[in-house]
Structure 1
Amino acid sequence: MIDIFVINLESSVERKQHIIEQLDALQTQFHVFPAVNGRDPEQKILAMYNDGLSQAYRCKSLSKGQLGCYASHYLLWQKCVELNKPIIILEDDIVFDKQNFTEFYNLAPKLDAKYECIRLFANHRRKVSVKNIETIDKLTINRSSKGHMRGMGYFLTPNGAKKFLQHSKQWYMAVDIYMDRFWINGVEPYGIDPILLTVDPSFDSDIGYEKNAKRLITTRCRREYFNFIENVKRIIHNLKFAVKHKLNKG
């Protein structure tokens, strides 16, 4: 069966208990993975963050919580490669659909040959189009025209993990935004229907966000230009994928 890794800060005891109770009820194998504390100066992995690039491209810095979140996911990508088998990565503030998650958990070992990464939650982007790719039993794999915007839970193969790592030599954006740049990292934005999990609204985010300073007009223009280029690259990639998918089906 596929190993499940739950990202949890040592101080987040209530979250840990919350997720363990759910996974115990699902009767699945899982590991609690100690999250990186982005506020800990002793965490050497945080040196991968490049604030200069963050300012150049995003015109803002990542918060300490965002850095810890990136580092935690990054280490699990490495773990996936090390194990050389698919894993499921979960954050600790989620609620499962018990039946749907169980069906996917049993189905997942059959998926690694086709799908490098599958988000297990709803796409939170605006104006996104979703195309169904394949229905297996009661679950449908789909592909979105935009990334899902969060990293709360996903299925990941070693090939997908290698791609995430390859294009993540320096960090300058939040990890979910980086994962959504499929035209850069080559990991397609697959999702699933019906969704398997949602965020538990009773928990506040552990990440935390820095207050944005008032931006100069030149700064705003630079950020808008970066976003424009990103959109163009995404559209081109989606067109290429559509052509390739049509040829493969034909």
Structure 2
Amino acid sequence: MLDSLDIFIISLKNSSRRAYCQAMVENPPQNYYSLDFRFHIFDAIDKHSHYFSKDLGYTGFIENSYSPLKLKYSSWFLSGEGREILPEELGCYASHYFLWLKCITLNKPIVVLEDDAELLPNFYQSLIDCLNNPFDFVRLVTRLEKPENSAILGTKKRRNYANPNSEIVLNEYFYLTYMDIRTILAYYITPKAAQAFISASQLFTEPVDMFLLESHKHKIPCFTYVPMSVSWHSNHLDSSIVTPENVATICALQKKLKGLVRSCKVALWSRIANFRRWYYYRYFLKKTGEINCCSAKEQSSYSLPLGFFMH
């Protein structure tokens, strides 16, 4: 058993959220556990840093990790976005990438928080539960694209068993689904998952939250701890990515891509992405033995959910 657990808060040096993050490091929640929780600030990779700018000693990291030409063949690009990744999104991906490397170097699990994370009363307990279970990547908060589709997250009460075609809770606290989850606000990660993510990130072909949805790339099941132990702080609206300028840029790019051919491509790739997530959801359940422990009749019920191909 570990005697300490490192918690890294990703924060831009010049961000309005910096003081909030510093306060969390200096005055973390009171700890009643024997495990030492160590909070640190990790300086986020800024689009003005030497990783991007030749004038500041260009390192080649972003150039080697991101190719606009190869991006156009990625499933994220083809399934609807049809745009380049914003510099702020590349910086976000790079920040998480370097923390995955940190996890591998430390050779022990770590926790990663973004700078708009607000810790809930069960935060420490959720980390203890993560350490006591075999799962390698666990979100501490999640946001479904369509929460009404979840029998578990759509209510405030936990359920030990829902429709296994779509979602399930394992070991009482660990929620797994094939449905679309797009947040990396807070998570627990082991060196095994970190290595898998690094190996699958030779090129950045989507924002990092979308990368985690690509189970066919990294082969790591992405669980969510329930009840969630982190929430969004009120400062999350002050984003360095979702700025008026970036929103205008994205809207302008997407207006250029309208048309029947694009609509057909988007529909096709959305269905492919949906099928991939469902396939690996079943694959992960088989690995955990969850399907094998069911009766033959229950196993036969693991079929494509009703409305699966509806986007």
Query: Which 5+ residue runs of structure 1 have no aligned equivalent?
Result: none
In the other structure, the counterpart of 1:18 is 20
Counterpart-to-counterpart distance in 2, 1:75 and 1:102: 24
Distance 1:34 1:233, change over 3 A: same
Which aligned pairs between 1:154-193 and structure 2 lie closer than 5 A? 154-193=187-226
TM-score (normalizing by structure 1)? 0.88
Of 8, 11, 17, 1:8 maps to 11
1:36-59: CA deviation from partner (whole Å, max 9, x where unpaired): 112442353212012123233312
Counterpart-to-counterpart distance in 1, 2:268 and 2:201: 22
2:169 matches 1:132: yes
Counterpart-to-counterpart distance in 2, 1:239 and 1:189: 13
Letter in 2 for 1:156: I
Letter in 2 for 1:26: P
In the other structure, the counterpart of 2:114 is 91
In the other structure, the counterpart of 2:239 is 205
2:62 matches 1:62: no
Of 67, 87, 94, 1:50 maps to 67
In the other structure, the counterpart of 2:41 is 32
1:80-107: CA deviation from partner (whole Å, max 9, x where unpaired): 111110000110111110x210212344
In the other structure, the counterpart of 1:246 is 290
Say which structure, 1 or 2, has more relative contact order (CA 8 Å, 6+ apart).
1
Contact 1:141 1:193 in 2 (8 A): yes
Q: In the TM superposition, what is the alpha-carbon distance from 1:216 to its structure 2 partner?
A: 4.2
- Larger Rg computed on CA atoms: 2
Distance 1:224 1:151, change over 3 A: same
Give 3-state SS (helix, strand or coil) of 1:32's partner: strand
Letter in 2 for 1:51: P
Alignment size in residue pairs? 242
Of stretches 121-130 and 53-62 in structure 1, the one that deviates more from structure 2 is 121-130
Query: Which 5+ residue runs of structure 2 have no aligned equivalent?
Result: 31-36, 151-165, 295-311
- Let me know the Cα RMSD of the aligned residues: 2.1
In the other structure, the counterpart of 1:221 is 264
In the other structure, the counterpart of 2:138 is 118
1:89-147: CA deviation from partner (whole Å, max 9, x where unpaired): 110111110x2102123444323xx1110000023222354311012xxxx12212235
Q: In the TM superposition, what is the alpha-carbon distance from 1:247 to its structure 2 partner?
A: 4.9
Give 3-state SS (helix, strand or coil) of 1:223's partner: helix
Q: In the TM superposition, what is the alpha-carbon distance from 1:222 to its structure 2 partner?
A: 3.0
